[in-house]
Amino acid sequence: MSKIVIEGGYPLCGVIDIQGAKNSILPILAAAYLADGDCVIDNCPDISDTHAAIEILRALGSTVTIHGNTVYINSDYACGFEIPDKLMRKMRSSIMFLGAILGKKKRALVSFPGGCELGPRPIDIHISALSKMGVTIREEFGYLDCECKNIKGTVLDLSFPSVGATENIMLAAVKADGVTVINNAAKEPEIEDLQNFLVKMGGKISGAGSGRIIIQGVPKLTGTRHSVIPDRIVTATYICAVAATGGNALLKKAEASHLGTLLSFLRESGCEINTYDDAIQVSCDSLKGGHTVRTMPFPGFATDAQAVCMAMMCKARGSTVFIETIFESRFKQVGELLRMGAKITTEGRVAVTEGVKKLYGTTVEAGDLRGGASLVVAGLSAEGTTVIDNAEHIYRGYENIEKNLSDLGAKITSEK
């Protein structure tokens, strides 16, 4: 079990680079399975979820090599259609490979992703869309056995703008027969990044970011080179850490337009934020509550940023209301923040923080990726030493988190 140890109370000041986006690299690696020829992906985050996706590609028969933050993939001789159960369990979002495997092999066998740390995570939207595209799907013994002669383009009206379902459909549709239209598609920046990658591969796709995506199937996709967009949730995490410690930092290689309504919440809460072409400067003297945050699909307030913002607001003047509308069980961090002296009450999907003067370091446990990151934010602003157990959750999404925070002046070490 890994742990992160933080001696809190030091304002974070300095300059760091923001890593590539976890939620972009995963579908992009899946897309690389569809290419004839070499794909080269730059700005690839060195996080455990990336390595899990690379393991899936290798299990499918692709050749993958890694040099720093660049990954080289060749799937010319890959012919796998099954994702081993242990890899599906490692990363629930491996369901994203389904569309790509079907696009290439017309057959896919994956274990059912089931529940996860955020509550039940159904895949009914993925299944209903793929069925409408001509895929026969049998659910047997915890497995999804999917088969089709040809994937057929069609018009799909999603009941919810699911990120994963939108990506799965794009991956299945890019080499399908005919035109696929996705109405009520997810608008997250990572969807646009996937579109850009597929277009460079020769795909005919437009509309990503608008809620209506149109995909004209093509018979062949070729290898290409692509650089992954910056991670907006990691950006939000460092902004919250800097603000919670009363610091002042420049986050380079960051994209402010990808933060959606989060930016206005941060500003209203007392953060001074200056945005540049590819950087964000943040500083903060004092934080003030008084707001209600409702997590929503992009460009609304990102559910993935809820926990780190909650940790930041624990020491704000006044109270803040957090309403979680996307996932059922996303307040795992609350019990741990309470151990550190925070005042938070929860009722179902609503949590209310009431600012306290001080948080105190103690031993806490990361229950999921973003909940774990929120404990880092809290630990940095707490008095004394915070020990975060189960830090593996945090390494799923944060590259070099100890080094980045040390570069900003934090006292942080880890035991892996």
Cβ proximity of 29 and 54 under 8 Å: yes
Q: Does 165 bind ligand UD1 (CB under 6 A)?
A: yes
Q: How far is the CB of 376 from ligand UD1 (least distance, A)?
A: 17
Q: If residue 102 lies in a helix (H) or strand (E), which one and from where to where?
A: helix 97-105
- Residue 142 burial (CB count, 10 A): 10
* Residue 309 designated active-site: no
Maximum distance among all Cα pairs of the chain, rounded to whole angstroms: 64
When the beta carbons of 75 and 162 are compared against ligand UD1, the nearer one is 162
Q: Does 52 bind ligand UD1 (CB under 6 A)?
A: no
Instruction: Say which of 79, 116, 148, 309 is annotated catalytic.
Output: 116
Q: Does 278 bind ligand UD1 (CB under 6 A)?
A: no
Residues 313-332 that bind ligand UD1 (CB under 6 A): 326-327
Stretch that binds ligand UD1, among 118-126, 214-222, 251-259, 406-414 (CB under 6 A): 118-126
Stretch that binds ligand UD1, among 115-123, 264-272, 335-343, 377-385 (CB under 6 A): 115-123
When the beta carbons of 164 and 223 are compared against ligand UD1, the nearer one is 164
Number of chain residues interacting with ligand UD1 (CB under 6 A): 19
Which position among 125, 198, 312, 344 is part of the footprint of ligand UD1 (CB under 6 A)? 125
Q: If residue 259 lies in a helix (H) or strand (E), which one and from where to where?
A: none
Nearest CA among 255, 313, 253 for reference residue 288: 313
Chain residue whose CB lies nearest ligand UD1:
164
Q: Does 23 bind ligand UD1 (CB under 6 A)?
A: yes
Q: If residue 372 lies in a helix (H) or strand (E), which one and from where to where?
A: helix 369-381
Q: Does 124 bind ligand UD1 (CB under 6 A)?
A: yes
Q: Between vectors from CA 21 to CA 16 and to CA 25, what angle results, nearest 5°?
A: 140
When the beta carbons of 180 and 386 are compared against ligand UD1, the nearer one is 180
Q: Distances in Å between the alpha carbon of 187 and those of 21, 78, 165, 195?
A: 15, 31, 12, 11
Which position among 75, 94, 245, 303 is part of the footprint of ligand UD1 (CB under 6 A)? 303
* Beta carbons within 8 Å of 75's beta carbon, 6+ residues apart: 32, 33, 34, 35, 39, 57, 60, 61, 62, 63, 104
- Length of the chain in terms of residues written: 416
Q: Does 55 bind ligand UD1 (CB under 6 A)?
A: no
Cα–Cα distance measured from residue 126 to residue 23, given in angstroms and rounded to the nearest whole number: 17
Which position among 58, 89, 107, 121 is part of the footprint of ligand UD1 (CB under 6 A)? 121
When the beta carbons of 394 and 412 are compared against ligand UD1, the nearer one is 394
| Site map 186..225 versus ligand UD1, x via CB under 6 A | x---------------------------------------
Cα–Cα distance measured from residue 364 to residue 314, given in angstroms and rounded to the nearest whole number: 16
Tokens (6 digits) for 287: 């934080």
Q: Does 93 bind ligand UD1 (CB under 6 A)?
A: yes
Tokens (6 digits) for 7: 């001696």
Phi, psi of 54 (to 5 degrees): -65, -40
Instruction: Classify residue 267 by burial, with Cβ atoms within 10 Å: 0-12, 13-18, 19+.
Output: exposed
Q: Does 21 bind ligand UD1 (CB under 6 A)?
A: no
Q: Does 353 bind ligand UD1 (CB under 6 A)?
A: no
Give me the active site residues, please: 116
- Judged by the rule CB under 6 A, the positions of this chain that interact with ligand UD1 are 23, 26, 93, 121-126, 160, 162-165, 186, 303-304, 326-327
